[in-house]
């Protein structure tokens, strides 16, 4: 029988995340929330998650399930199954808790978690961030963090499919 890794212990159900968040909040900790597909983790994801974590004391990352990624991104996605994406994210020092959700958007999860800070990448304008109105209504903040140029899962996939030729917008 395999012994659960430290990372696996950080992957929880929504109910368990909500309990952990309540405990953290009661201890005076500021909870930060973000979500995404996180398929083929790259430096843009790493920089983004580290910046998100710096905005509070506990970073919760909600990962789209395989079914929701397919609905959002199309056939052939995700490349990496949800349980593996969640475990890889959980192994990052910046990430405290990870959960997987099946909805097309994270609204239901955001309402359950009630974060003090809601974060998305710079490719999301404030008016397009799902849950922004709710988080502001409960007194929280919404942040759009800088996009890392040349760091894109879709660009990585295009590069792999094209036999490794670098996309013109990709930086070394």
pLDDT tens digits, residue range 6-32? 889 999 999 999 999 999 999 999 999
Backbone Cα Rg of the chain? 16
Q: pLDDT band at 41, cuts 50/70/90? A: confident
Burial of residue 126 (number of CB atoms within 10 Å: 0-12, 13-18, 19+) = exposed
Global model pTM greater than 0.75: yes
* Average pLDDT of the chain to the nearest whole number: 87
**Domain 6-161 carries which CATH code?**
3.40.50.620
Highest mean pLDDT among 53-57, 75-79, 103-107: 53-57
* pLDDT reading at 34 higher than 70: yes
CB 145 within 8 A of CB 121: yes
Mean pLDDT for the stretch of residues 64-73: 93
Q: 146: which 2 tokens? A: 């800088």
């Amino acid at each position: 029988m395999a012994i659960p890794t430290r990372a696996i212990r950080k992957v929880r159900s929504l109910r368990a995340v909500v309990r952990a968040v309540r405990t953290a909040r009661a201890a005076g900790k500021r909870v930060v929330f973000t979500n995404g597909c996180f398929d083929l983790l790259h430096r843009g994801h790493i920089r983004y998650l580290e910046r998100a974590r710096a905005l509070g004391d506990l970073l919760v990352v909600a990962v789209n399930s395989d079914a929701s990624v397919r609905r959002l991104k199309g056939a052939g996605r995700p490349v990496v199954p949800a349980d593996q994406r969640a475990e890889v994210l959980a192994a990052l020092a910046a990430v405290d808790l990870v959960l997987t959700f099946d909805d097309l958007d994270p609204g239901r999860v955001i309402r359950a978690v009630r974060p003090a800070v809601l974060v998305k990448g710079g490719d999301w304008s404030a008016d397009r961030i799902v849950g922004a109105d709710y988080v502001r209504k409960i007194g929280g903040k919404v942040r759009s963090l800088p996009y890392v140029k040349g760091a894109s899962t879709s660009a990585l996939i295009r590069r792999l499919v094209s036999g490794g030729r670098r996309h013109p917008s990709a930086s070394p």
